[in-house]
A = this chain, B = another copy of it.
């Protein structure tokens, strides 16, 4: 477990937890470090999960199988990131997705109730932990809402303007950088990359925006 000390400390879930508290805390939570080989199933859809996880090394995927058995990838999760925490705390009866490893992986699994309930030993970091968890889930919530708002726009042009407009507001300036390359931006906006490129050029020609690489400006 010590091997992954640095990575654990960098996780939001353990924010504001003192270094020396981390190990006893993990013991109190009864956190298990588990090794999985590539291609194994961590959580199976249909289960009622009682744990959420942290990727310590390797990579896992959240996948969903539809009625006809076609599998699609919802997310990839790498080292230092949580997974399945929303499903665990939502107390969903049947997990709608599966969690599988795509490489040999070291995972930490934690009982969601152990983290949420005050323990008998009255560890006072339990309270910090649950607040951190609430913040993590709430932040994701806000990000998801924002993405839905933007991708709900009908045309590529409107999606772009909604996104860029939001970035400008966030930056508090009409000039700002975006954290995606073109393909990633197209994936985020759920449009075709080439069509998006065309629309970006059109917007620039129309004098609505200016851009150079990832530097944008609203006019």
Which A residues lie at the B interface, using CB under 8 A? Answer: 64, 66-68, 72, 74, 85-92, 96, 116-118, 127, 130-131, 133-135, 137-142, 144-149, 151-152, 154, 161-162, 164-166, 168-170, 174, 190, 218
Q: Which residues of B contact A92 (CB under 8 A)?
A: 142
Determine whether the beta carbon of B190 is less than 8 Å from that of A141.
Answer: no
Bound form: Cα–Cα A42–B90 in Å: 29
Determine whether the beta carbon of B96 is less than 8 Å from that of A166.
Answer: yes
Copy count, this protein chain: 2
Given A66-B161, A134-B133, A169-B67, residue A149 in contact with residue B74 (CB < 8 A)? yes
The SS class assigned to the A binding surface is helix
Bound form: Cα–Cα A152–B63 in Å: 15
Determine whether the beta carbon of B142 is less than 8 Å from that of A134.
Answer: no
Determine whether the beta carbon of A149 is less than 8 Å from that of B64.
Answer: yes
